[in-house]
Every structure is written in C-alpha cells, then in structure tokens.
Structure 1
Amino acid sequence: MDPSRVMRVEKAGMAESMQEDLESLARGGFRCRLCHVTVANKPSLDDHLRGKKHQRLESLRSVRQAQELRSVFVSGFSKGTPASELSDYFQAYGEVINVVMDKDKGVYAIVELQDKEVLEKVLAQPHHSLGGQKLRVKPREKKDFKYTQPRKQGSAKREQLSPKKLAQELCQADDVDAQMSLLVQQFEFSEGERRLRDLLVTLFQEVFLEFFPGSAILPFGSSVNGFDVSGCDLDLFLDLEKTKKFQASTKSPAEPLAEDVASPEPDSHSEDSILSDIDLASATTPEVLELVATVLQKCVPGVHHVQVVPNARRPVVKFCHKESGLRGDISIDNKLALRNTRFLQLCTETDERVRPLVYAVRHWAKQQALAGNPFGGGPLLNNYALTLLVLFFLQTRNPPVLPTVARLKELTENEEQTVVDGWDCSFPKDLTRLEPSSNTENLCTLLAEFFHVFGDYNFASCMISLREGQPLPLPGVLESTVGSKLKLGPFNLQDPFELSHNVAANVNEKTALRFQRCCQAAAKYCRSLQYQRKSSKGKIWGLVRLFQPGTAEAETPAATGLVISLPLTLASLPAQTRKQLSQAGNMHQCWFQKVCSSIAFVLKDVLRCDCLEAQEGSEREGEAVTECKQREQQTEADAEQPSSAGHKRSLDEEEADLSSPAPKRLRTDTLSPEGESMTWNCAMWRRVWLGRRRVRRQLRGPQPNSQCAAGSLELEAKVSEAISQQEGEARPTDPLLQFTVHARTGADSSGEQGMRISLCFEPAPEQAAAFQEFFHFLQGFLPRAVEQHVVSAT
C-alpha cells in the first residue's frame, strides 16, 4: 500500500477518535468526554487538546487498547495458583508481558502477551490445562475507556472547599488572625479521619504482632506532628528491636527472655512462624522490607498496591488502603523521624501561634508553585522544610517565640537524654520547664515579618541552624560534620538533630531565587492596607490576595526561563583530571568542551534526540545567549525601606505599589563576562520520558546483568530505544517537540575552580505547554546522566 495513503488513513482514524471525544455545546462551548472538561470556545479547546492531561489520557487509552488486543482471559485454575505458574505455562506459545491476578477471589487472571501472533497461537489451541485443571481461555473483553480519579479517604475525609468558596469564607473573617485560624480548621484532620487512622494503626499493630512478637507500629510525620493536612500519607515506623531480642532468646534457651519483650503466643515461635525463615539480626534492610511487604499483601485486610522502595534515602514499603484510599508507607530504620515528630509536637504545644503560621506559609508556597512534588521528584521545597523555616523564624524573633534546640537540651534532665544513630536528640518531655514567651506579636505581623526576613536572605552562603537559632558559616558546618554526606546547595537548611542532613538539598538555584522573589513580593503586599484591613466594599483582602498565584512571577521575566544548572565544577573533578586539562591548554575551555560533548551524547545517544550544533557567531545564537544571560542574571532591585505591618499609608501610595512593579537591575557578579557558550537545535520524535521505570525493570529482569546496571547510560539508552519501538517503527512526519539548548559557563562564589555550566532551553512557541512535561523529566535526569558520562570519560 502507498505509504502516503496509510498515513492518510491513520490521520483519518485519529480525527475520528478525536471527534468522538468532543461534544459541541450551546454558545460555542465544547465538552471533552475523555477528560470530563468543559471549555468556553475553540481556542480554549485547542489549548486543552494540546494540554498535558488530555495528551496523557489519550496515551493511556492507546496503551490499554493495545493491551486488550493482545491479552486473554484465563479461568479454571486452582485457587492460590501463583502468577508465575501461569506465566511459565503461556511462555510456551511466546513471550508473556504481564499476568494480572484476581486478588480478592483468586479465580481468574488476565495474561498479556507480546503481540497478536502469540495471541492467535494461544487461541488456536482448543484445550489448555494446568496442574490437572482444565483452563478456560478466551479473548479479553473489550471495554470503553473510562478514567476515574482514585478515591481518597472515603467518607472520613472532610469535603474540601473549592478555591472560590475558600476565598469567600476567608473574606468574611474579621481580621488576618481569624483568617489564619479558619485556614487551620479547613485543612486539618476531621474527627472521622483521625479515627480512621487510629483504627488502621491498631489493625497494623495486631497483624504485625502475630508475625513479629514484641514489635510496635508507631506513626510519625504529618499524621501526628501537629501539622496534619487532610488526605496526607500515613507514615509508620515498625520497631523490631524487641523482636530481635525475642528471636535471639529462642535460639539460646539457656538465656532468659528479656523483661521488656512481651511473651508471645505459643504459635508465634512454632515451625510455621515467619521468623523461622529469616534472622532479623543479620538480614539486610531489603530482605526485611520484602518480608514486611509479604505480610501486608497477604494478611492485612483491604491493603493493596504494596511496593518495596529499597533505594530511597529511608527505604520503605508503600501501600494503599483500598476502602478509604489512604496511602502510606512503613519504614524499619527511621527512629530519628520519631524524635523529629515529637519535637514538632513540642513546638505546637509551646505557642498557639505556631500552627496557624505554618499552615499559612505552606499554603502560600503551594499556591506560588514553590512547594509540593507532583512529578515524584524535583527542586521544590517540601512541607517539612517549610515548617522548619517557620520555626527558625520564630526562634529569631526579639523576643523569641520558640527556644532553640540547644536551649531545650540545657533544660533536659539526665533521664531524658536521648541519642539516636549517634545524634543528640535530647529535649524535655513536657512543657513545665519551658519559660513562656514574652513576644506579643500577632499572627498578622508575624506573617508579614516572615516574608520580610527571607526576602533578603542569602540561603546559599550559610546554613540555617535550628539547633543554634542562627545562620552558621558553611566552613564551620563542614568542619563539624566532616566525614558525613552533607550536601550543600543554593538553599541550606539543617535538620535540627541529624546535622549532616540538608532538608532542602533538592532545591536548585532557580527555585531558591524564585522563593526570594516571591517573599519580596509578599512582604511588599503585606505593607499595604489591603492586607491588614477587611474591605468594606466586599473586595478580596488579607490572605486571599496573598494566596493568588503568580503575583511575583508576572513581574519577573527570569521566571519564564527554562534553565538547568549542572552540578559539575572544576573543583569536583579528580586532581589528575584537572592536571590533564591544564596540560591540554586552556583548562576552562577544555573542560567546557568535554561537558558539552557529554551533553550532546546524552541527548543524541541516550534520549534518541536529533541534535545539531548551531553555527558559531550566528545572529540567532547571539540573541539566544544574550537572552539566556538575562534570564540567569535578572533579579529584583533593592527593596524600599521596610515599615512595620501596622504602619498606615495613603491610598495613592498603596495603589502605586499594587500597579507599578519595582524597578529591576542586572546582577553582574555571578557570571563571568566572557563565558564559553554553545547552542544546539534539537528535535524530539518519541515520548521517551514516559514509562521509563517500567521498561527499565523489564529490561533488567529478576537478575540484572552487571554490564547493564541500574542507572547506567547503556541501560538508559536501551530504555529509550524500547519505548521508541513500542510507539511504532515508522517515524512520525513531524517531530513531537522542537527546542533549542544554549550551554554557557559562569563563575560562582567559589572562585576560579567554581566554574559551572547552565543550560537554557527554548521550545518552539506553539509547543511551550507540551514542552513542560519533558523539561520536568530533564531536570532530574540530565544533570545525573551528564555527570556520569563526564566521570566515565575521564
């Protein structure tokens, strides 16, 4: 058949499918049946069809339809038959991609085969049997694709107010303090949600005691630390210390059982006990987590989607409670989190202003896209970091609202001294020895001062310490934590107890700068009467105006820049490598060329992207590099002299503040004036950033080859190739994405050896929205891949 005719047929099919998804409404409106979204006009419809949600659901529908066409429905096997036996049986006809078992009843399964040819071989066989049982095999039933949002918290969760309704409620409050109290009431747990979580903890405790005598399930984190948010995950710690003692005592009958170990039931140490299969004292963390996952899957009613995550900073087992939709995780090595939780509880009990202030700052950061982690990783602040930032601010007020951790340690009695993993975590158990704060500032003033303080803060040059209640110079922090894995960056915030942990280490330079700009804009707004007083004309005021997203972004062109700063510096290279570069001539130039070679390798060979180096000296490249410089250098001008939150100003001054953005100036002290630069014109043909984890797991198999280890560039290249093949052998007529990458060097505060490289991405104008998803993937993937290639090449 003529290829052009095939292409026309495919486009006609796509157009027909799109037409079925759309419904015309009165007055020029449209409804997308796929996404359940209504838009007002054709331009809004076009934006929606190009949007991430619609594209993702279209892709998901295509994948599921393809799975249906090559899957069979199997029943008749014995109850309890493992999926591996079914997989082994159907492997005789061809490759088996996946086997999905009916978990609740265990009487049927969906077997996904490699392609239609394997499916036809299976269906051509009239009789199938497994373990003496006759199997019933038939094509999988084809169903209409319907996407439903996962349920969360069921009836126990309080119904959340819509943003519009929340704004109306806040505007009806008497003052800002009342608004902040209302915010807490809106987001904290309902009584039903607290009761549900308590019941789940009790259920987990009963189940795990059966398998791990003496063990304890202890909740920590947002559920119990005083800053609960309706719908947040349930974090649990499984304490196995007493179980280990019990297991050791059963192996040494002559040794008496420890007094603090609860006497187990007779069947707890029988031959069928799960403890007979593993020695907890010598088992590795992944082995114990696999054991915990097995107990969750098979013995806890209503729990599903159990997944072991052994490579996290704190390895956990994730799970979901089916009836309520509540998600959570269980860790076995996280006693520090228990102390952190109790410390946060102590702070909320010390002063009633702590909770409203934290809730307000968190919600503000979320609305300004400074906090949260929607893509499973990224450079945004998390809620724990924002909470510590507020506590540090309250420690530094004059007089202080909260005591420092060092002061709490001084008030600790000998029997309260606590050391966890080598870190001093001592503080009083109750509030009787704490002196009440003499600070009388109200919430309205404290919130305004929070933004004023951090609007001019140099996060990169110091370490914020809650232990000392003051910023610490970085050289002293590095000396005190020598030998640890302390990671410094543009935003340094030290954990109050685990001093080698920077809780904001994931934040990049762009987010840190945006946080400062947003704080400056918020501080400016908090000096106006619109923030301090309720409007007599029914206009939005107070927190409602503060929470409106994008107020600072609209004033700052730099915020639109898609910039990735690579962590590679000359100082990070081995001494021998730096010596080789210096012998080759200009060290900085050779180093820049080597890194650019690695960037091109990752884009071309790993991500299968067409990448053409632009001609040097071209007018377009010069304009692009200049724009990139401006994006990196742009910052707010010196703020006007601050006034107190209660200072009154004239309406003319207030309107001028709200309508006229502050003047800006270029900062010239962060980049070298004659930095090296290089530009590539790129085209992306496949969505290689989607589904990489699943494909990577399939390629590695149960026993990964050492030549293709996890995270290796060789494996990542194979993952990209596999995803490209899944999308089809024929290359599309037009590229999926077109963009330009500008690489240039700059110098940071570390001096000559601190040269760094920034990558500025410029998508085609009509693809700006679609490019965002790919850029989010690059933010986490590209720096690690480039660094790995540079190190391996040297």
Structure 2
Amino acid sequence: MEAHPDIQTTQKGFRCTLCGVNLPNEPTVDAHVKGRKHQNLFRLRATRKEQEQNSVFVSGIKPDTSQMQLIQHFEQFGPVTDVIMDKEKGLYAIVQFEEHAGTDAALVQLQHEMGNIKLRVKAREKKEFKVVLKKKQDGKNYNLDTLSQELCQAASVNEQMLRVVESLQLNENERDGRALLVKMLQEVFTEFFPDCEILPFGSTINTFGVHSCDMDLFLDLEKTKTFQARAKSSSEQAGDCPSEDGRSEDSILSDIDLSAASSAEVLELVAAVLRKCVPGVHKVQTLPTARLPVVKFSHRDLNLQGDITINNRLALRNTRFLQLCSGLDSRLRPLVYTIRLWAKQKQLAGNPFGGGPLLNNYALTLLVIFFLQTRDPPVLPSVDQLRHMACEEEECVIEGWDCTFPSQPIAVPPSKNTEDLYSLLSAFFSFYTAFDFSASVVSVREARQVPITCFLNQDPQNPQTQTLPNNNGAPKPLARPPRLGPLTVLDPFELRHNVAGNLSERAQKSFQLECGNAEKYCRSLQYQRKSAKGKSWGLVRLFAPRSPTVPSRGGSGSSESKERHLEISLPFRLAALPDAARFRLGTAGDGFREQWFAMVRVAAERVFQEVLGCSPAQEEEFEAQMDTGVMDTSNPEGRTPSCSSLDTSTSPLGTPQAGQKRPLASTDSSPISPQEKRQRLSSADEQPHSATWCWVQRHRVWAGRRKVRRDLLKSSGTESSQPEGDGVEMELQVTRLIAAKEPDPRDLLAFRVGADVFGGNENTKVVFRFTTLSDNLGLFQDFFHFLECFLPKTTDALLGK
C-alpha cells in the first residue's frame, strides 16, 4: 500500500483523517481512498485551499456598501470571481480573485480607499479543513425514550400507533412558520419574476410530514414567461427605451430569456435572489446536474432545509395523490408513521445526509399504499380505478402522463375492509417478507405485481417496442423502461421512474430480513399483550435499534449455521445482462429463472476452470482414494472428467445420452473460443434447477492477486483503477502468472460445488454451496473467503459479455 497523507496507522488498523472513518485493513484503505466520498472531499479540500489563497479579507465597509462597489474597486488588481459579504451586519467581506496574483497585488497596496471609505485589507485566515457533519434535527424531534414511556402506557397497539402520529407529525407552529416562509418567498420572487408562483409540495403538505423535515418548493415560471414575452412584444411595437436606471421594468428578466434559458441558468438566478434578498437564508447551493436540478438552502430561524426546483410539476400531483389517499382511509397515516419510524430505527430509511442506498420516505409510503391496495377487500383503490372515478373537469395530463384522479375523497366509495391497525401492521411485514422483488415490480397504478418479464422483452433491434400490460391485458406503450433494481417501485404517474432506484442489493436484503424479524415478533406475546409489570411491549420492542450483527437462523453453534457459512449467493441482476439476453429471458415468461440459471452455470464453470485454473475431477474416483489420502486428478487416456447434473439429464453445456453424466470441457489450459461459448449457451432445450461440480485446485491463485495485477497494469502502462473481479481477461492473466511461479503443482485442496436456483416466494438467486473434500494444509477457508467477493463479480462480468 502506497503511503497516503490522509491515512494514519492505528492499533486496530487505519484511520482516514479526512473522512473521519476507521478502516480495518489495507484492502479497505485502497477501496476507501478510491471511493466517491474520499475523492469528493479531496477535491473539495483542494478547492477550499485554492479559494483561501486567492482571497482577501476586507473590513471597514458600511452596511449600505454593495457587492458591485467592491468588485469595481478590486478589479484593478485582477479579475474578481466572487464577493461574499456579511449580509446580516454588513461589516466585512471576502473578495475572491481568479488568480493568486490578484491577491498579492491587493495586499501589496497599503491603503485602500473606496469613495469616502477607508478599507482595511489583509490576507484571508487559513483554516484547517474539517468535515462538518449535518446535525441531526433532533432539537424539536421526538425523543425515543420519552416516546417509549408514552407507548408503554397505552392500552393497545392501535393506541400506540396513534400516539406515534401525534408525537412525530408537524405541529401547528411549524406549519404556520412554513406557511410564512412560503409567503415571504412569494413576495421576494415576484419582484424579480413577475406573476411567478411558489408552491410547496412533499412532506410539508402531504399529511406525512415530521418535525424538521425538508421543505420542498416548486417555482412555477409559466406565467412569468408569458409576462416576459408580452412585455417584449409591446416594447418592440411601441419602441420604448429602457428606464432611467438603465434597466427594464422586469429587472432581472432583462438579462435572460426564460423561454430559451437552460435550467442551470435559471437556478443560478434563483440562488442569487436567495442569497441577497431573503433574510435568514444561508448555505445556498445549486445542484444543476441532479436528476431534477434544484437549489438547496437553509433557514436559520426555522431551523430547516429547503429545496427549490423549477421543473418538477409531477411532484405537485404526487403530493395531491398522497393527500387524497390520506383522506380516503384514516388507517394510512398511522401505518406510514409507524413503518417509517421502524425503518429509521433499523437503518433501512431516513438517511440524515440525503441520498445513499437506503429507502426514501416516498418509496416507503408507496410500499404501504401498495400493501393496502392488495388486501382482501382492498383498503385503497388503484390509481387506474381512481382515474375512472374522476369527472371531466378533473382530467390532468402532465408531461404526457395521465395524472387524473378525484380531487375530493367523497367521490370515492369507502373501503369494506374492517381490519384494525394492529392486524394491518403485522400483515405488512408478512407481505413483504415473502415478496419476490427480483421477479416482480410494484405498481401502485394497477395495484398488482407486474412480472419483471414485462420489462425484459425489449427487442435490442427495436427499442421502442417496450410495453406494460394493463389489467385487461391491453399493452400500454412505454418508450423507455424504468431503471430496474433490487427493489422496483413504479411512480404512480411517471411509469418509467423507479422511486427506489437508488436502493442497493444489500439494503433490499436488509429490508426483507428486518421484515421477517418483525413478522416473527408480531406473533409473540410481547407484541400482542400489554405487560402487567410495566415492561416494554408492542411497538416499543419493534422500534429497538438494529443490532450491529444479525445472527444466522441456525444459531451460532448449530450444524446448519456452519453449512450456511459455506454458501455464496448470486442474485438476479439485470444490469449484468446484455440487451439480447434480456430479450431472450423476457420471452421465456415464468421460465426465465431456468434460462438465467443455465447462463450462470456456464459462467461459473468458466470462472473455476479458466479464470482460477481449477481442474475438474470425478467425485467417485476421489471417494475411492480418500482412505489412502492420494488423489490422481490427471486426465488418463481416453477418460473425460465430468460432474453431476441433478434434476435433469440436459444442460446448456451439451446433451449427453440417457444415463450418462454431463461431460465437462477439456482441462487443457487453452481458452475456449467465443464461438464455442455461444454454442454452449444455446444448445439446451431444457434448463435444470441444480448442478454440482468437483474441482481440484493446485495453485494458490487467491494469494497476492492484487500485487500481481498492479504489476501487470504498470507494465502495460494502464492506471491501476480496476476493482476486484472486473476484467475477465486480466484476471486470467493474473492466474497464469501466479501459476507460473509454482513450477511444481500439487493438489492443494479439492472441493465440491453445488448450485441451485431459487425463486417464487423468495428473491430469484443462485446459491453456490461448498463442501471440502481434501484440505491437508487448511487452505480452504482462506480460498472460500476470496471466492465470496470474486465469484459473484466475475460471474456477472462473464454474463455481461
């Protein structure tokens, strides 16, 4: 590991002083240094340092001094890029130059006079760069200990859920403060953007807001564009001249044409207005490259963060939809508040830093709505059903998406479902514990699980053929499919948007695991009955923080846990498949698992035999020689090594005669040609559900791979930036170089690998089970630890070819 200035060695490993995190070993250090967080902070530190070097501190200014006056004065020393003023008191400013020469020139001059004002100019103070974590907004938030005491005093779980709502929801003062902020922003922005509208959306008004939640705002400029076009047209016809101050009546609009300006240009104007004209607003930041470009800000007095967007009209409709659902059934809000708090305590949602691989609150709310839509009888109707209940005046189409639904809950017949909150909460966990996220897509619009094959059958030669079926079977055109992931939840209106698209596979697994744990708890007496001794019960135990480590189901000392420890899972990942493979799987319908498993088997066999240099062997011969401790895995005359294939007599690697075992490829080290690989993939008529192999490993191919790969990349002039498992050809060369250093091969270890595909009531995945057959040197555990990372990634890389 190369020395890094931000990495310090500690007694327990390493520590990154820049990011403030502890790292256990050298591989994690390398991964961390190359990671997004460290690289972003590294660039931010460099930018801050450059800004400090190119800036001067100016004091002695008057409260009425403008930024333009300071720019005009200091531009004599060099180009000025920014002027930061103390807006609250107006006593000092920081002038930033484009180059360091401007800073030196300004500091050399001993006296600075700007009009009748004598300025004091000195070098900007150099401060140590520190990462300031966002403070948790718990000042006005619930206190979990206090809430737990209140919940223990409740008479039932139903009452506990209602108390959760009372404790977490926005109070009247918070709602009034947010309303005043919206009114103030409306007045300020109207001065610069005539006829504009500031419209709140999201948790502030969708009835699911909590203390100190972000405030989402939409700046509607459609009427402003009309005003600007009308003013421009009338000015041209009348031949009017600019006003005496050199500006037209629309002020800031004279500098930009809204109809032709980009989102980034408009957002910069919005940010400028926030910085200079709105009291209490600070930390204004423009994010023009986000999926939906926004301006983020904070408000000191209200202690909240806010976002302003100019092109998110669909979000307004989503907010109205959640308001309608909340009004349709009083059980929705207690369920949502309870499940959100549970997810936050289990570290499944509610990332305090925003973004990340966790569930967002909107996706979690849609999961609750979808669950209620699927009850028998349903608690909430589907979006398609709501569309038919709306009148003509309520028809709404935004950006080509049908967003029609009734404006008032009275237009929707009440639900016939009479389940109480206690039963619905338990049923929610049971529902998603058994949900097959890998093979199904959550559709709130249709209130059903849409098979994932509906999104896989897109012909790569004709990408416009993507369709999404309705309940009546009629295809619904979908020009671009949604981003499918470990958990796919379609937006109710923008059907190509997966609102849980940021979720990682690990987070999805954690969600289902915690749902399973909660389901078991809800069957216990601690959940069902109030403790007569005043102990924790009901929701209090459910909200217990997530344990750092989750024990296996078999127990730490059981034989089942030891067997599970020797398993490696390969989940169904759409991102790893090329378009042609997606199309073929999409046409297979419910049989797509078997076809995908056939592809995985071929890829996994190539990983062991070609990439890792394992030799196939017949297990029967090995068992016959176990007593002697000698195993001859060479290929004798006329004998072809083979492995067992269970449940069927055919496989994608060939079609043997009845009663015969499936032959493996030759043990020759020469690689298989691409033509042969394609033939092996397409030769099967039936696809098995399981298979087994017996392998022998003669070289320590798992030891020192990183160094060999780095040396190989350096010798080829390529920068070492590839993660473990990427670049199959590179990994093959690494194996050959390691094997070449051991001229006298010997049988280090022998092992059996069993592969099974699972689906239906659990996520679609292939599970590889390992059994040690020979390990005299005790190397298998180390080899297996290497395979846990290497096998899934390399298999995925081969599937993508």
TM-score with structure 2 length normalisation? 0.61
What is the aligned partner in structure 2 of residue 744 from structure 1?
Answer: 790
- Of the candidates 536, 550, 553, which is equivalent to residue 553 of structure 1? 550
- Of the candidates 748, 756, 768, which is equivalent to residue 796 of structure 2? 756
Q: 1:616-638: CA deviations, max 9, x gaps?
A: 799xxx999999x99x9999999
Q: CA deviation at 1:204?
A: 0.9
Q: 1:98-137: CA deviations, max 9, x gaps?
A: 975433344423568999x999967983615476775423
Could you tell me whether the CA contact under 8 Å between 2:154 and 2:160 is conserved in 1?
A: yes
Aligned ranges for residues 603-618 of structure 1 at < 5 Å? Answer: 605=719, 615=738
- Of the candidates 456, 460, 483, which is equivalent to residue 487 of structure 1? 483
Could you tell me whether the CA contact under 8 Å between 1:70 and 1:114 is conserved in 2?
A: no
Q: CA deviation at 1:283?
A: 1.8
What is the aligned partner in structure 2 of residue 535 from structure 1?
Answer: 531
- Of the candidates 420, 424, 444, which is equivalent to residue 422 of structure 2? 444
Could you tell me whether the CA contact under 8 Å between 1:625 and 1:742 is conserved in 2?
A: no
Secondary structure (helix, strand or coil) at the match of 1:670 reads strand
Relative to structure 1, the CA distance from residue 633 to residue 623 in structure 2 (aligned partners, 3 Å threshold; closer, same or farther) is farther
Identity %: 43
What is the aligned partner in structure 2 of residue 175 from structure 1?
Answer: 156
Q: CA deviation at 1:364?
A: 0.9
2:508 corresponds to 1:524 = no
Q: 1:751-783: CA deviations, max 9, x gaps?
A: xxx95159xxxxxxxxxxxxxxxxxxxxxxxxx
Relative to structure 1, the CA distance from residue 374 to residue 633 in structure 2 (aligned partners, 3 Å threshold; closer, same or farther) is farther
What is the aligned partner in structure 1 of residue 229 from structure 2?
Answer: 248
Secondary structure (helix, strand or coil) at the match of 1:554 reads coil
Which amino acid in the other structure matches residue 103 of structure 1?
K
Q: 1:505-532: CA deviations, max 9, x gaps?
A: 1222222222111111111110111101
Query: In 1, distance between residues paired with 2:788 and 2:73?
Result: 52
What is the aligned partner in structure 2 of residue 75 from structure 1?
Answer: 58
Q: 1:17-62: CA deviations, max 9, x gaps?
A: xxxxxxxxxxxxxxxxxx9xxxxxxxxxxxxxxxxxxx99xx99x9
- Of the candidates 547, 559, 578, which is equivalent to residue 571 of structure 1? 578
Aligned ranges for residues 581-620 of structure 1 at < 5 Å? Answer: 583=674, 605=719, 615=738
Query: In 2, distance between residues paired with 1:623 and 1:426?
Result: 67
What is the aligned partner in structure 2 of residue 136 from structure 1?
Answer: 120
Secondary structure (helix, strand or coil) at the match of 1:74 reads strand
Could you tell me whether the CA contact under 8 Å between 2:758 and 2:764 is conserved in 1?
A: no
- Of the candidates 375, 392, 415, which is equivalent to residue 370 of structure 2? 392
Relative to structure 1, the CA distance from residue 327 to residue 223 in structure 2 (aligned partners, 3 Å threshold; closer, same or farther) is same
Query: In 2, distance between residues paired with 1:581 and 1:195?
Result: 71
Query: In 2, distance between residues paired with 1:560 and 1:99?
Result: 61
Relative to structure 1, the CA distance from residue 267 to residue 241 in structure 2 (aligned partners, 3 Å threshold; closer, same or farther) is farther
Could you tell me whether the CA contact under 8 Å between 2:77 and 2:102 is conserved in 1?
A: no
What is the aligned partner in structure 1 of residue 166 from structure 2?
Answer: 185
Secondary structure (helix, strand or coil) at the match of 2:308 reads strand
What is the aligned partner in structure 2 of residue 720 from structure 1?
Answer: none
- Of the candidates 282, 301, 315, which is equivalent to residue 337 of structure 1? 315
Q: CA deviation at 1:372?
A: 2.5
Relative to structure 1, the CA distance from residue 126 to residue 470 in structure 2 (aligned partners, 3 Å threshold; closer, same or farther) is closer
Of structures 1 and 2, the larger Rg is shown by 2
Relative to structure 1, the CA distance from residue 499 to residue 149 in structure 2 (aligned partners, 3 Å threshold; closer, same or farther) is closer
2:305 corresponds to 1:327 = yes
Could you tell me whether the CA contact under 8 Å between 1:222 and 1:229 is conserved in 2?
A: yes
Q: 1:635-666: CA deviations, max 9, x gaps?
A: 99999xxxxxxxxxxxxxxxxxxxxxxxxxxx
2:444 corresponds to 1:470 = no
What is the aligned partner in structure 2 of residue 670 from structure 1?
Answer: 766
Could you tell me whether the CA contact under 8 Å between 1:89 and 1:130 is conserved in 2?
A: no
RMSD of aligned alpha carbons: 5.5
2:381 corresponds to 1:403 = yes
Q: CA deviation at 1:537?
A: 1.4
Q: CA deviation at 1:457?
A: 0.4
Could you tell me whether the CA contact under 8 Å between 1:491 and 1:504 is conserved in 2?
A: yes
Is 548-557 or 480-489 further displaced after alignment? 548-557
Relative to structure 1, the CA distance from residue 140 to residue 267 in structure 2 (aligned partners, 3 Å threshold; closer, same or farther) is closer
Secondary structure (helix, strand or coil) at the match of 1:339 reads helix
What is the aligned partner in structure 2 of residue 772 from structure 1?
Answer: none
Could you tell me whether the CA contact under 8 Å between 2:440 and 2:450 is conserved in 1?
A: yes
Aligned ranges for residues 633-648 of structure 1 at < 5 Å? Answer: none
Query: In 2, distance between residues paired with 1:624 and 1:494?
Result: 48
Secondary structure (helix, strand or coil) at the match of 1:402 reads coil
Could you tell me whether the CA contact under 8 Å between 1:568 and 1:756 is conserved in 2?
A: no
Could you tell me whether the CA contact under 8 Å between 1:553 and 1:559 is conserved in 2?
A: no
Query: In 2, distance between residues paired with 1:485 and 1:581?
Result: 35
Could you tell me whether the CA contact under 8 Å between 2:757 and 2:766 is conserved in 1?
A: no
What is the aligned partner in structure 2 of residue 127 from structure 1?
Answer: 110
Secondary structure (helix, strand or coil) at the match of 1:756 reads helix
Which amino acid in the other structure matches residue 394 of structure 2?
E
What is the aligned partner in structure 2 of residue 236 from structure 1?
Answer: 217
Q: 1:258-289: CA deviations, max 9, x gaps?
A: xxxxxxxx999944622222222222221221
Could you tell me whether the CA contact under 8 Å between 1:73 and 1:108 is conserved in 2?
A: no
Relative to structure 1, the CA distance from residue 673 to residue 319 in structure 2 (aligned partners, 3 Å threshold; closer, same or farther) is same
Gaps of 5+ in 1: 1-6, 16-34, 36-54, 257-265, 590-594, 640-666, 675-738, 748-753, 759-786
Q: CA deviation at 1:560?
A: 14
Relative to structure 1, the CA distance from residue 493 to residue 555 in structure 2 (aligned partners, 3 Å threshold; closer, same or farther) is same
Secondary structure (helix, strand or coil) at the match of 2:766 reads coil
2:279 corresponds to 1:301 = yes
Q: CA deviation at 1:422?
A: 0.6
Matched residues, number = 587
Secondary structure (helix, strand or coil) at the match of 1:426 reads coil
Query: In 2, distance between residues paired with 1:114 and 1:608?
Result: 36
Q: CA deviation at 1:597?
A: 8.1
User: Which structure shows the bigger proportion of residues in helix conformation?
Assistant: 1
What is the aligned partner in structure 2 of residue 502 from structure 1?
Answer: 498
Query: In 2, distance between residues paired with 1:119 and 1:395?
Result: 65
2:324 corresponds to 1:346 = yes
Query: In 1, distance between residues paired with 2:219 and 2:748?
Result: 57
Could you tell me whether the CA contact under 8 Å between 1:71 and 1:139 is conserved in 2?
A: no
Q: CA deviation at 1:381?
A: 0.9
